[in-house]
Amino acid sequence: MTRTSRVNLHPLRLTRTSDAPIYLQLYRRFRDAIAAGKLQPGDRVPSIRSLASELSIARGTVEQAYQMLIGEGYFLARGPAGTIVSPRLDGAGTSGQAHHARAYTPQSARQQATPDETEPFQFGLPALDAFPRKTWARLAGRSLRVLDTAAMRYPDPAGYEPLRHAIAAYLGISRGIVCSHDQVFITAGYRGALELVCRTLLQSRDVGWHEDPGYVYARDFLLRAGMNLVPVPVDDEGLCLRTAQQQADGARFALVTPTHQCPTGVALSLPRRLELLKWATRQQAWIIEDDYDSEFRYHGRPLPALKSLDQDDRVLYASTFSKVLFPGLRLGYLVVPESHIERFRDSARHLSGPGSILPQATVAAFMEEGHFARHLRKMRVLYAQRQRWLMDALAQTFGTELSIVKHAGGTHLLAMLPTARSDRDFAAAAQSHGLAVQALSRWRVSASNPGGVLLGFANITGPEHARVLARRLFDATRTG
Amino acid sequence: MTRTSRVNLHPLRLTRTSDAPIYLQLYRRFRDAIAAGKLQPGDRVPSIRSLASELSIARGTVEQAYQMLIGEGYFLARGPAGTIVSPRLDGAGTSGQAHHARAYTPQSARQQATPDETEPFQFGLPALDAFPRKTWARLAGRSLRVLDTAAMRYPDPAGYEPLRHAIAAYLGISRGIVCSHDQVFITAGYRGALELVCRTLLQSRDVGWHEDPGYVYARDFLLRAGMNLVPVPVDDEGLCLRTAQQQADGARFALVTPTHQCPTGVALSLPRRLELLKWATRQQAWIIEDDYDSEFRYHGRPLPALKSLDQDDRVLYASTFSKVLFPGLRLGYLVVPESHIERFRDSARHLSGPGSILPQATVAAFMEEGHFARHLRKMRVLYAQRQRWLMDALAQTFGTELSIVKHAGGTHLLAMLPTARSDRDFAAAAQSHGLAVQALSRWRVSASNPGGVLLGFANITGPEHARVLARRLFDATRTG
């Protein structure tokens, strides 16, 4: 499938007297060679070791350039099979940006991204370079050998039992949630969890509170499922409960992100948590707690889940492995009240479920053997660093033009624009230059100022990378 | 997790003068030892080789007994890890049937079957003993090594592209369907395909034709999706088109199994195929073709798919890997008209999709390297043989009490009962003895006589096994 590079990249004419550091020159050379068609999609590029030796530069320098090229989708690292020019880059274009220009729309970025594209700043993607792929492959290989004819049958609609045990144990230790594995349903991502809730407890045209701004994909999903959503503003204590009650006290459900409100990052305050639970009990309403990235909190004590305070079984706790492992797994889970297990099992039997057992068995082994906890600890340190890199680079490049909202955690920054600027225009300009920036107003139902942008930082591999991206963002969005 | 067998099974007191052949004595001994609690769930049993050598009998004899025990869920074969007593057998019971008695309901058999249970006669399960597991594990292991960070991202909502190419090529050669990979959507089983159709082309309360009797799980799914189903009788040319048109000519869709009507096995005649297509064109209605096991036809020429005659793009072609590979994969696919690709992509983006890439990559490799075609050829021979074994055993045991409907293929038999007998009673009696027999009337909407039962034969491993099962069925359902 892959050809060896047909063009000789050398002499690269790298110069130590240039303004730009060597890694950046290297990065640009490769980008230009691809744009000019000298390197074609699928071409193999030299190994880091051999290029470093040929150019008499440090391996770390080559590695830095390669990581940027991989991070931006120009290169594709295939482990022992070597690194190639991404097969999906179709055709040339100035500065290699042509392939980014086609049909990028933020609404569908989460799903549309084809396998070997990375858009810088992409929202919701974990650090792909830092995932322990070798350990993962080893565990998956082992699961493969141990799995027997049992794995060939129609699976349990609630998911692979050992994984449900591992999740129940993890939630008890890390999120303060006491539950049995019978309450845990493995789903095909967060969407699968929402679908299970809709099919089991809700009906078309049910009224539900939704955070505004709030997770746009969940909103889309619920609207398509026929729900009647009431947008509820978010302030610095999270969902404005008073407003919600004034607008629709009789709502049937509330969808909340209490740990890090998505996308503003605020935590729902304890008084509001208790009020929300009280409301749900009184109204016999359901609270859907989306706990998508609570693991990533970089200072202060970790907040327990809302579910941990739930005395009356009104909370449906949903989470996903997309942020803590990787989205390609397509696995999430839902914890349901004990009294509703049978109803959920019944509807799970009529849905398409979490898929094949093998990926579930691999996650179970990863959790059981302590790799999961270790990976989370490592990621917390890494993300705190990457967040800092991006914050510094943005401050340096944009000065006061962007003001970063202090986040307690997560994998993206929210940066506010000056009142006069449209965040949609800003995001569109960035997108047309291949930067996966999202406009805050796309995540809002009600019009409001000032605008802001969401910038994912999980795949920023160093301070220089952050500066290059900040600069590209600045250039792309410069007005006039 | 597993303990070594704590009881000494020997001397088994096998006797060559007994009425029963050695393998049957062995089979009963193990079953009794389990029932009596001498062998516990999870206990390891001797290897075939060592037991044969200890008892001085042929390995084939031990193997025959073990295969029956595995086939009936007493044992669990774990490849190189050895064979154990199924961990899910809870507790003792006379003749080892106690574990079968709990909560078996045919409605949910397809989904409820927990991993290490097999119910004899189970519908829709392929031959688990004949699957090339080593080849599969090798290919999966390779896919695992080759997969890179691309597989970690949010996947293409239409599924893994190389698999879509492989399916398009296969359909062209084997089913007479000319399509591009862009038209192929990988889904989480057949249910995923139906969901994609519902969300893209249909609306709640749309009227659709459904075969009567017809595939009960599809009917359930569509009813839950809010469709308004019109049952249409089936005669020896398949769906009675005239009746359908008289009842609901303006229907929005028709769900058909043209190759082997499910469960009667008849093929939709060519004149009716053409009429059906003409109707769909005239009404701008959709035909959903469920081609679930067309590969298994044991005599006569294979019928091309209805889709191959579809000039006006009215047919949505759905199939599944559950029957031709194994259901635990949870993979199916849907071929959509070229003009509707974008609409389907849009709705696929909002559904939970076909799951992780790895299983899809394994299927792709299995198809690309010719293993799939080889496996199908092998299975055609095997199933023809197993079908014959069961037909012979039923005839021998039941005489004229059961009359087998001649099937052209598939993995189950339809056997009709005498007019006076209720097939639900017959099936319930069989189920209470651990036999996964389904009543035909459960698959019908309109009451009709005579009743019948559906008997899966894919996991019957020999003529003796067939005779033992036929006998068990006879004893379980004996009246008075």
Per-residue CA distances from B101 to B85, B89, B97, B120, B307 (Å): 18, 11, 7, 13, 43
Same-domain status, B52 and B14:
yes
Are residues B378 and B319 both part of a single domain? no
Checking if the pLDDT of A83 tops 90, the result is: no
Whether B125 maps to a domain, the answer reads no
Considering only CB atoms, which chain B residues are within 8 Å of A76?
148-150
Return the CATH number at A27. 1.10.10.10
Distance from CA of A352 to the nearest CA of B (A): 6
The minimal CB distance from A154 to the residues B224, B327, B351 is found for B327
**Nearest in space to A238 (alpha carbons), one of A272, A204, A215:** A272
Question: In 3-state terms, what secondary structure has residue A209?
Answer: strand
Interface test with chain B among A67, A111, A133, by most B beta carbons within 10 Å:
A111
Strands (E) in B222-375, as ranges, are 228-235, 238-239, 253-256, 286-290, 315-320, 332-335
Band of pLDDT at residue A293, cut at 50, 70 and 90: confident
Domain boundary among B372, B394, B425: B372
Say if the Cβ atoms of A153 and B328 lie within 8 Å.
yes
Contact between B148 and A204 using a beta-carbon 8 Å cutoff: no
DSSP per position, B55-90: HT--HHHHHHHHHHHHHTTSEEE-GGG-EEE-TT--
Closest to B327 (Cα-Cα) out of B155, B123, B189: B189
Question: Of B128, B327, B352, which is closest to A352 when you measure between CB atoms?
Answer: B352
Residues A170 and A306 in one domain: yes
The answer to whether residue A360 sits within a structural domain is: yes
Q: What is the pLDDT of residue A390?
A: 96
pLDDT score, position B68: 74
Q: Which residue of B has its CA nearest to A129?
A: B149
Minimal CA–CA distance to A356: which of A143, A152, A139, A145?
A152
Please give the full DSSP string across B174-235, using - where no structure is assigned: HS-----GGGEEEESHHHHHHHHHHHHH--TT-EEEEEES--HHHHHHHHHTT-EEEEEEEE
pLDDT of residue A460: 94
Distance of residue B118 Cα from the nearest chain A Cα, in angstroms: 9
Nearest residue on chain A to B87, alpha-carbon basis: A150
CATH code for position B398: 3.90.1150.10
Chain A residues with CB under 8 Å of B129 CB are 149
In which band, very low, low, confident or very high, does the pLDDT at B379 lie, cut at 50, 70 and 90? very high
pLDDT-derived band at A42, boundaries 50, 70, 90 = confident
Q: What is the pLDDT of residue B304?
A: 86
In angstroms, rounded to a whole number, what is the distance separating the alpha carbons of residues B162 and B159?
Answer: 9
Judged against a pLDDT cut of 50, whether residue B231 lies above it is answered with yes
Whether residue B366 is found in the same domain as residue B463: no
Position B262 in a domain: yes
Report, as an integer, the average pLDDT of A423-444: 93
The Cα B240–Cα B232 span in angstroms is: 7
Same domain, yes or no: A97 and A146? no
Can you give the pLDDT at residue A14?
A: 61
Shared domain check, A188 and A56: no
B143 plus B161 within the same structural domain: yes
Pick the most confident of A23-27, A116-120, B372-376: B372-376
**Shared-domain flag, residues B244 and B211:** yes
Pairing of strands A3-4, A43-44: parallel
Phi, psi of A362, rounded to the nearest 5 degrees: -65, -45
Distance CA A70, CA A92 (A): 18
Which range is least confidently modeled, A249-258, B82-91, B400-409? B82-91
Domain of B208, CATH number, reads: 3.40.640.10
> What's the pLDDT tens digit per position in B65-94?
887 777 666 788 777 778 888 876 653 333
In this complex, do B152 and A114 lie within 8 Å of one another by their Cβ atoms?
no
Domain-embedded: residue A96: yes
Q: Which residue is listed with tokens 């991502």?
A: A189
> Residue A434 belongs to what domain range?
373-476
Mark whether B43 and B61 lie in a shared domain. yes
Instruction: Out of A175-189, A217-231, B80-94, pick the least confident.
Output: B80-94
Q: Distance from B83 to chain A by nearest Cα, in Å?
A: 10
Helix A59-71 with A22-35: angle, nearest 10 deg: 40
A55 falls within a domain = yes
Establish if B118 belongs to a structural domain. no
Q: What percent of chain A has pLDDT over 70?
A: 87
Is A76 a residue whose pLDDT tops 90?
no
Residues A49 and A189 in one domain: no
pLDDT at A112: 34
Whether residue A108 lies inside any domain: the answer is no
Torsion of CA A432, A435, A440, A442, to 10 degrees: 50
Q: How sure is the predictor about B412, in pLDDT bands with cuts at 50, 70 and 90? A: very high
Is residue B126, in this structure, part of any structural domain at all? no
Q: Which of B43-52, B139-148, B253-262 has the lowest mean pLDDT?
A: B139-148
Å between B263 CA and nearest CA of chain A: 19
Q: Check CB contact under 8 Å for A191 and B118.
A: no
- pTM assigned to the model: 0.77
- The confidence score (pLDDT) of residue B223 equals 94
Q: Which residue of chain B has the CA closest to A147?
A: B78
Task: Give the burial class of B405: count Cβ atoms within 10 A of its Cβ; 0-12 exposed, 13-18 middle, 19 or more buried.
Answer: middle
pLDDT band at B250 (very low <50, low <70, confident <90, very high): very high
Average per-residue pLDDT for chain A: 85
Name residues whose C-beta falls within 8 Å of residue B381's C-beta, 6 or more positions apart in sequence: none
Q: Sorting pLDDT into bands at 50, 70 and 90, what band is A148?
A: confident
Q: Where among A103, A123, A150 does a domain terminate?
A: A103
User: Which of B356, B372, B388 lies at the terminal end of a domain, its last residue?
Assistant: B372
Q: How far apart are CA A20 and CA A26, in angstroms?
A: 10
- When divided into structural domains, chain A yields a total of 3
A140 and B144 in contact by Cβ < 8 A?
yes
pLDDT band at B116 (very low <50, low <70, confident <90, very high): very low
CB B419 within 8 A of CB B463: no
Chain B residue whose CA is closest to A226? B204
Q: Which amino acid is at A151?
A: A
Average pLDDT in the A29-34 region?
80
Q: With CB atoms and an 8 Å threshold, state whether A156 touches B350.
A: no
Of B81, B116, B224, the CB nearest to A150: B116
Q: Are B358 and B365 in contact (CB under 8 A)?
A: no
Does A393 share its domain with A344?
no
- Cβ contacts of A151 within 8 Å, gap of 6 or more: A357, A358, A361, B115, B328
Q: What is the mean pLDDT of residues B278-303?
A: 89
Residues of A in contact with B79 (CB under 8 A): 145, 148
Closest residue in chain B to residue A142, using alpha carbons only = B141
Contact: A356, B356; criterion CB under 8 Å: yes
Q: A16 pLDDT exceeds 50?
A: yes
pLDDT tens digit sequence for B424-461: 999 999 999 999 999 999 999 887 777 999 999 999 99
Residue A171 confidence (pLDDT): 94
Over 90: is that where the pLDDT of B310 sits? yes
d(CA A157, CA A163): 13
Q: What is the mean pLDDT of residues A161-178?
A: 93
Beta strand pairing call for A412-416 and A452-456: antiparallel
Q: Is there a single domain that holds both residue A168 and residue A50? A: no
Residue B407 CA from chain centroid, whole number: 16
